[in-house]
Structure 1
């Protein structure tokens, strides 16, 4: 175990509590199994997934300054399991920390708006951290490897990082934004074989799905086909929005590209928890649109 209990202010986001409930389930089970303590931010609000700033940057910054301030009240890092939430909240945190010296008047404007709603002001005193970074950097790959009871030998996993996790922030402390290895290293730690393919760090297509659906599905289809061609048994993503476009909409993607795919797409905590011996049903692996049975048969 790490030298001290890891504890985070947990920001589950919207999608994991609705369309991807299995992500919420598997995160809770994984962290409990590893002895990581989560204090859920019940009063937190949606990060906006990048849409708030289309109307107002101040709106996005104020809403998420409030989310960060809730974690600051607990004197804990804010933990998210959604790449989009990480990208949005992490970038707001970065921007407001820069404002402390570069534009203190702007930060004061944000805090005045929070004060009007009787909210705690933003201080810039904590960190926004995705579950992936918490596992790799805080818990440690060696310790995760030591906890493995069901080695995922023979399972070929294609990471799908997407774009928000890697490039929404100007500084990325834990990986290379263009040639990342965190997920692949995690796959190796649990005994799986990482698969590399061109689209692993590109957009899944979700952000344009509401107004350019065909193009969105073609983009998702390209990534899935590349992963299959590279020999993947499954995709693994750290983002529920990516999961929606790659798994939930895969049947629609197949119609657009005119080809059968059938590639299972796992949430990151599902994969790690499987290696720790957790029952697949408890992880919600039967809730996916594309059957995960081929993955379980491999194990």
Structure 2
């Protein structure tokens, strides 16, 4: 366990408080088990999921400079558990830190808009960090391994990194953006077997789903088929938007590709929390569209009935 209690300014994002409520719940359970303190940024706003910049880069930067400033006020790193939020907010942080030296007039413009609205200015002295990076880089794999109470031995997990987590930011201190291993190393630390397949670092198709639904579902179907062919018992993703496209829409994906799939898709926090001995019901494993029963049976646990978890 780390020498000091880890504390973060927690940015839960929108999807984890709505369509993927189980991510919010499992992150809280995981943090409690690891004695990580999460100070939730209740005044934070949606990062925009990359859509704000389609209208205005200034809009995206200003909205997320405010989010970062809320964490800076607490003198804590901003923690996300969404790859899309990490990609957007982390890239804004990089851009504005660059602006401090290369384009101070632009940073002044952003901060001017913030102060007009009574918001704190962006200082550029903080850090934006995904839960995966916090677990691997701050808490440490050996410390997590020492906390394991329920080995995931025999469970074959296929990581689905997606695209935002790996390649939106220029600097990725915890992994290789094209040949990542952080999730696979975490799987090994909790006793699971990592499964490799071609699509693990590709887009899930979610960004296309509002205007090219068939193509988006074909992309998702290809990834799931490849993971199944490689022997995966489940997909594990650090992004709730990927989870929506791969789990919530899997029945629609099956219709588009004309094949049954039935591959459970777990949030990263759920998988690690299972290894720490946390009750599956606490983790919202009954909220998934694709049943997680096969995963629980493989771990010697009883499947959950749909809807047993309180919202």
Query: When the two structures are superposed, what TM-score results if normalisation uses the length of structure 1?
Result: 1.00
Partner of 1:3: 3
Partner of 1:236: 236
Gaps of 5+ in 2: 300-311
Paired with 2:297 and 2:15, the residues of 1 have a C-alpha distance of: 28
Partner of 1:93: 93
Paired with 2:151 and 2:49, the residues of 1 have a C-alpha distance of: 35
Shift of 1:4: 0.2
Paired with 1:40 and 1:239, the residues of 2 have a C-alpha distance of: 18
Paired with 2:10 and 2:262, the residues of 1 have a C-alpha distance of: 33
Partner of 2:36: 36
Partner of 2:18: 18
Paired with 2:133 and 2:20, the residues of 1 have a C-alpha distance of: 21
1:204-256 deviations in Å (ceiling 9; x for gaps): 00001000000000000000000000000000000000000000000000000
Paired with 1:145 and 1:212, the residues of 2 have a C-alpha distance of: 42
Whether 1:170 and 2:170 are equivalent positions in the alignment is: yes
Partner of 2:309: none
Shift of 1:138: 0.1
Partner of 1:138: 138
Partner of 2:276: 276
Partner of 2:57: 57
Length, aligned pairs only: 299
1:2-55 deviations in Å (ceiling 9; x for gaps): 000000000000000000000000000000110000000000000000000000
Paired with 1:119 and 1:230, the residues of 2 have a C-alpha distance of: 50
Partner of 2:199: 199
Helix, strand or coil: the match of 1:32? Answer: helix
Shift of 1:200: 0.1
Helix, strand or coil: the match of 1:266? Answer: strand
Helix, strand or coil: the match of 1:9? Answer: strand
Helix, strand or coil: the match of 2:296? Answer: helix
Helix, strand or coil: the match of 1:119? Answer: coil
Shift of 1:119: 0.3
Gaps of 5+ in 1: none
Shift of 1:290: 0.1
Paired with 2:245 and 2:219, the residues of 1 have a C-alpha distance of: 10
Paired with 1:195 and 1:279, the residues of 2 have a C-alpha distance of: 25
Partner of 2:189: 189
Query: When the two structures are superposed, what TM-score results if normalisation uses the length of structure 2?
Result: 0.96
Whether 1:226 and 2:226 are equivalent positions in the alignment is: yes
Helix, strand or coil: the match of 2:291? Answer: coil
Shift of 1:187: 0.1
Q: How large is the Cα RMSD of the aligned pairs?
A: 0.3
Partner of 1:209: 209
Shift of 1:172: 0.7
Partner of 2:307: none
Paired with 1:104 and 1:149, the residues of 2 have a C-alpha distance of: 51
Moved over 3 A (4+): none
Shift of 1:91: 0.1
Alignment of 1:248-287 (within 5 A): 248-287=248-287
Whether 1:77 and 2:77 are equivalent positions in the alignment is: yes
1:93-133 deviations in Å (ceiling 9; x for gaps): 00000000000000000000000000000000100000000
1:170-201 deviations in Å (ceiling 9; x for gaps): 11111000000000000000000000000000
Helix, strand or coil: the match of 2:140? Answer: helix
